[in-house]
Amino acid sequence: MRLPDKTCTIEDAIARIPEGATVMVGGFGVPGTPFTLIRELVRQGQRNLTLIKNDANERGMGIDHLIANGQVARLITTHIGLNPRAIEMLNAGHLAVEFNAQGILAERVRAGGAGLKAIVTDIGLATELADGKPRIEIAGKPALVETALRADVALIHAHRADVFGNLDYVATARNFNPLMAMAADMVIAEAEAVMPLGDLAADEVHTPGPFVDHVVGLTEISEEYAVVRR
Amino acid sequence: MRLPDKTCTIEDAIARIPEGATVMVGGFGVPGTPFTLIRELVRQGQRNLTLIKNDANERGMGIDHLIANGQVARLITTHIGLNPRAIEMLNAGHLAVEFNAQGILAERVRAGGAGLKAIVTDIGLATELADGKPRIEIAGKPALVETALRADVALIHAHRADVFGNLDYVATARNFNPLMAMAADMVIAEAEAVMPLGDLAADEVHTPGPFVDHVVGLTEISEEYAVVRR
Amino acid sequence: MSDARNRMVARAAREIAPGMVVNLGIGLPTKVVDHLSADFPVCLHTENGLSGIGPTLPPEAANRNLIDAGGAYVSTVPGSAFFDSAVSFALVRSGRLDLTMLGAFEVAETGDLANWKIPGKFSPGAGGGIELAQKARRVVVLTTHTDRAGNPKLKSACALPITARACVNRVFTDLAVIDITPAGFTLRELAVGVSLAEVTEATGAALLLPGGEIPTF
Amino acid sequence: MSDARNRMVARAAREIAPGMVVNLGIGLPTKVVDHLSADFPVCLHTENGLSGIGPTLPPEAANRNLIDAGGAYVSTVPGSAFFDSAVSFALVRSGRLDLTMLGAFEVAETGDLANWKIPGKFSPGAGGGIELAQKARRVVVLTTHTDRAGNPKLKSACALPITARACVNRVFTDLAVIDITPAGFTLRELAVGVSLAEVTEATGAALLLPGGEIPTF
């Protein structure tokens, strides 16, 4: 028994994304955003996408390129305050945005990755985010049913990958990546380094290889990763 | 800012467990079972406990000591096939046992640790395990509401701990430990080695310290951990 | 293991396609691993938290912290990963498990499986069996064709408590390979030296015969 | 930062008891970290996945992969741990967060908090604010007593969309320290040089005065 090799060119990996796909994108701000995969998706130009991402990056970075390019029909997110373009498009009715509490977005994605149908929570009960969501009682108290989220594709940024798709992440670049790497029918990971089998210690893997479909090695680190001097 | 020290004697840690407590116990078979903490709980003798553990260990090992000692009123578990004493006591009506599908027990514990009220799943719908559980519809299909599990105390076996309670686990000794280490009001971890702050790499921690209340260093490894020659 | 059982296990091993993620249940299915070559591309999963199971080890070479779900001391391969029980079943329930091989007390012609409980006799709990049966993309069963008393294990309906409904795709027995199709049990292959009459006799429901010659294994 | 704000932040820092796990919200609360000594036993948490935040770093010393939830480049301390967003909010929702310090648009005398949306003007989404407000064991607010137009931010009821109901325990402003009690806003301390009349005037609801002298900060 040996574990199969899942390395792939970025062109081939992104070409598997169809028009109209639902795409999860890792990252919280800059760290963990798969900038290189996103750039290739901009280049190939698939349209009418639903994106699921914590935030909308900043103007001129990450998924803002997809939004600016008119490829995004809908965004499921928690906070887009750092991207004025996304806010303008939301206000003008050119981008449908669904807001979630941040930890609930994380749990909905995780529930999708865990093959659950929904989670039940009291988070946001008093807020307008609860509007229209089914309510049930647990131990006599009201709670919201938040359905699981899955995607056709997840775009992941890893620190290291082995050729089978075992991944690790570094520092706060982990964030939504391990959750999304479980929650899509096709998981594409870009990695700053691709290692031979056995070079990632089995106890230190953050995303087990069986969840990952395609591994893309990065030949250079996107300049969008540079430290921002505000 | 420095992180506080949570090291503690085993006697003091276990003495905090009251009679009638609900206690989660890590482990799947031998690996990850906190044998030394269990032995101290047997010595101190708190009774009327509800245990939550994947299995009942084997006769003469682990939580079988608690069962034999009459300390366990109820067991929430997935499979007790390797412990004939537990099965006998179940059949004789001396031990109340609630069976769960294994991954659903894991998710119920995790949901407790994640501050969720319940999960919604289609697992077990056709089985007698679904009897009496609330059903709701998700996307037009029936599903079960499985309530979150929390405990008063979790007993955890870690490979290494630092003094703040960051933990890691080794090989298949991980199993339910990281889940239970999030899901109890008081989390007590025994560790094969206790390290100074900074000796566990921040990217390689499996259970973050904020979840852990008391760290007990093991001076020797329980003989119950020896490789079994069947 | 008898020749017939060994042939059944060897035949079942050929069910594994290159690149699959596979969970081998406790008992007979575990033996399938002995029929996979060292360079066959496959990822074996065990629900207690390991992807990439390597060969089983004797006690003197065993790692006290490294077992499979059946308690056997196993090893890793290059590229193995350990994870917790929630992640392990996330993999099962979310469709990442291509194939599971399970034992059975009874299989119904509808694909219903009973393999976890004999009321009054055997009630240890279901462990991970329900999720494996319900959620693996393909479920195959390895079992003797009849029980020790000679009664059929393949039946029109399960009498024992169900593990999961309409989950079994194929059954490997010491006598035959049988698919569960919308029309019921369908014979695909016969064990060498076993007659059609023998299999029909040992099966507790109608057995459909496809046209043409029936291959042997 | 003005003297008054600096005093408010310094006073808020004294709210942190040894051994606490604390989340400091974006804006003024972040400044509290400058008032904690290097050997004070505390664990700072940021919801993007770090326990054990160390000092903020200038760009030339920054790690491109290490930020807090507000996007500032931070550092670690010995014993820090990184985790994913699900684990990070598990910590918040399951009661492991002893204290959070948040900003506010409005605080009601019932403890209701509004700090995420001004309809038609500011609707970036709630981020992690709802869970912090609803689930931290203790929620304190740091805010100027009035908005830029001089209108009270402490009111009998919130006019803006709610973040969480009955969640705020205490408010630190440039003028006063005020507790939310079952009876409403209760004055605990006055900023140096601020009169009782000034605070009462600037508060948009009844302000209860406990007996005895009111301490200053």
- Could you tell me if D161 and A128 are in contact, meaning their C-beta atoms sit under 8 angstroms apart? yes
Inter-chain touch D86–A170, beta carbons under 8 Å = no
Domains parsed from chain D with CATH numbers: 3-208 (3.40.1080.10)
pLDDT in tens, A148-172: 999 999 999 999 999 999 999 999 9
- Per-residue pLDDT for A119 more than 90? yes
Query: Subunits that touch chain C (at least 3 Cβ pairs < 8 angstroms)?
Result: A, B
Q: How many contacts, defined by CB atoms under 8 Å, are there between A and D? A: 135
pLDDT at D121: 87
Q: Locate A55 and state its tokens.
A: 């935030």
- Residue of A4, A150, A210 lying closest to C91 (CB–CB): A210
Inter-chain touch C64–B226, beta carbons under 8 Å = yes
Test mutation, B203, B205, B206, B207, chain A, max A CBs within 10 A: B203
- Could you tell me if A28 and D46 are in contact, meaning their C-beta atoms sit under 8 angstroms apart? no
Kind and range of the H or E run holding C48? none
pLDDT in tens, D112-170: 999 999 998 888 999 999 999 999 999 999 999 999 999 999 999 999 999 999 999 99
Residue type, C188: R
- Residue of D63, D85, D164 lying closest to A126 (CB–CB): D164
CA distances from A1 to A30, B21, C36 (A): 39, 46, 6
Confidence of residue D27 (pLDDT cuts 50, 70, 90): confident
Judged by DSSP in three states, D168 sits in: coil
Higher pLDDT, D194 or A229: D194
pLDDT in tens, D91-120: 999 999 999 999 999 999 999 999 999 998
CB of B107 less than 8 A from some CB of A: yes
Rounded to the nearest integer, the mean pLDDT of chain B is 96
Residue type, C89: F
Give me the mean pLDDT over the B179-203 stretch. Answer: 98
**Residues of chain C in Cβ contact (below 8 Å) with chain A:** 18-19, 21, 33, 36, 38-45, 50-54, 76-83, 86-87, 89-97, 135
Let me know if chains C and A touch, i.e. at least 3 Cβ pairs under 8 angstroms.
yes
- Residue of C79, C86, C91 lying closest to A162 (CB–CB): C79
CB of A163 less than 8 A from some CB of C: yes
Residue whose token pair is 């939504």: A176
Please give the model's pTM, rounded to 2 decimal places: 0.98
Residue of chain D nearest A176, judged by CA positions: D85
For chain C, which residues score pLDDT lower than 70?
A: 1
Confidence of residue D175 (pLDDT cuts 50, 70, 90): very high
- DSSP-assigned letter for residue C150: S
Cβ neighbours of C69 in B, within 8 Å: 28
Domains parsed from chain B with CATH numbers: 10-119+150-218 (3.40.1080.10)
- Residue of D21, D39, D83 lying closest to B2 (CB–CB): D39
**Residues of chain C in Cβ contact (below 8 Å) with chain B:** 46-50, 59, 62-69, 71, 73, 82-86, 88-90, 92-93, 123-128, 130-131, 134-135, 161-165
Q: Dihedral of CA A189/A193/A195/A198: which sign?
A: negative
Inter-chain touch A1–C87, beta carbons under 8 Å = no
Chain D nearest-CA distance from B122, in A, is 22
d(CA D78, CA D58): 20
User: 3-state SS of A182-228?
Assistant: CCEEEEEEEEEEEECCCCCCHHHCCECHHHCCEEEECCCCCHHHCCC
pLDDT in tens, B56-109: 999 999 999 999 999 999 999 999 999 999 999 999 999 999 999 999 999 999
DSSP string for B94-151? SSEEEE--HHHHHHHHHHHHTT-SEEEE-TTTTSGGGTT--EEEETTEEEEEEE---E
Inter-chain touch B119–A119, beta carbons under 8 Å = yes
Paired with B157 in beta bridges are B190
- Residue of B117, B122, B147 lying closest to A117 (CB–CB): B122
- Residue of C48, C84, C131 lying closest to B178 (CB–CB): C84
- DSSP-assigned letter for residue D59: G
Give me the mean pLDDT over the A24-49 stretch. Answer: 98
Q: Dihedral of CA D28/D34/D40/D45: which sign?
A: positive
CA–centroid distance for A148 within its chain: 14
Inter-chain touch B136–A145, beta carbons under 8 Å = yes
- Could you tell me if D21 and D96 are in contact, meaning their C-beta atoms sit under 8 angstroms apart? yes
d(CA C124, CA B93): 15
Number of C-beta neighbours around residue B142 at 10 A: 12
Cβ neighbours of D115 in A, within 8 Å: none
d(CA B98, CA A138): 19
pLDDT at A230: 60
CA distances from A228 to B110, D59, D65 (A): 37, 7, 11
CA–centroid distance for C15 within its chain: 10
Give me the mean pLDDT over the D5-24 stretch. Answer: 96
Among the listed ranges A100-109, A175-184, C115-124, which one has the minimum average pLDDT value? C115-124
Inter-chain touch D130–A179, beta carbons under 8 Å = no
- Per-residue pLDDT for B45 more than 80? yes
Could you give the count of Cα atoms lying within 13 Å of A157 in the half-sphere of its Cβ?
29
Judged by DSSP in three states, B188 sits in: strand
- DSSP-assigned letter for residue D65: T
Among the listed ranges A204-213, C90-99, C137-146, D1-10, which one has the minimum average pLDDT value? D1-10
The residue from C15, C47, C106, C109 that is catalytic is C47
Q: Where are the beta strands (DSSP E) in chain D?
A: 21-24, 43-46, 50-54, 75-82, 99-102, 106-108, 113-114, 139-142, 154-155, 170-172, 176-181, 184-190, 207-208
Kindly provide the b/e burial profile for residues D47-75, where b requires at least 16 CB atoms within 10 angstroms of the residue's own CB: bbbbbbbbebeeeeebbbbbbbbbbbbbb
Dihedral over alpha carbons B12, B15, B21, B25 (to 10 degrees):
50
Give me the mean pLDDT over the B180-185 stretch. Answer: 98
CA proximity to B47, closest of B70, B64, B68: B70
Q: Count how many residues are written for chain A.
A: 230
Inter-chain touch A197–C87, beta carbons under 8 Å = no
pLDDT at A225: 86
Cβ neighbours of D81 in B, within 8 Å: 166, 200, 202, 205, 208-209
- Per-residue pLDDT for A173 more than 90? yes
- Could you tell me if A190 and A165 are in contact, meaning their C-beta atoms sit under 8 angstroms apart? no
CA distances from B154 to B7, B24, B53, D90 (A): 16, 4, 10, 16
Cβ neighbours of C67 in B, within 8 Å: 28-31, 172
Inter-chain touch B115–D135, beta carbons under 8 Å = yes
- Could you tell me if D175 and D191 are in contact, meaning their C-beta atoms sit under 8 angstroms apart? yes
CA proximity to C66, closest of C79, C78, C53: C53
Q: Locate B198 and state its tokens.
A: 């900074």
pLDDT in tens, A65-100: 999 999 999 999 999 999 999 999 999 999 999 999
d(CA D67, CA D49): 9
| Terminal Cα distance for chain A, rounded | 52
- C216, burial (CB in 10 Å: exposed 0-12, middle 13-18, buried 19+): middle
Q: Locate B116 and state its tokens.
A: 């969720």
Chain A nearest-CA distance from C97, in A, is 8
Per cent of chain D over pLDDT 90 is: 91
Q: Locate D72 and state its tokens.
A: 């500032």
- D-proximal residues of A, 14-53, CB under 8 Å: 28-32
Inter-chain touch B114–D86, beta carbons under 8 Å = yes
Query: Subunits that touch chain D (at least 3 Cβ pairs < 8 angstroms)?
Result: A, B
- Residue of A197, A203, A211 lying closest to C96 (CB–CB): A211
**Residues of chain D in Cβ contact (below 8 Å) with chain A:** 46-50, 59, 62-69, 71, 73, 82-86, 88-90, 92-93, 123-128, 130-131, 134-135, 161-165
Q: In the annotation, is C213 catalytic?
A: no
- Could you tell me if B103 and C131 are in contact, meaning their C-beta atoms sit under 8 angstroms apart? yes
- Could you tell me if B188 and B158 are in contact, meaning their C-beta atoms sit under 8 angstroms apart? no
CA distances from D210 to B206, D11, D182 (A): 48, 20, 13
Inter-chain touch D94–B113, beta carbons under 8 Å = yes
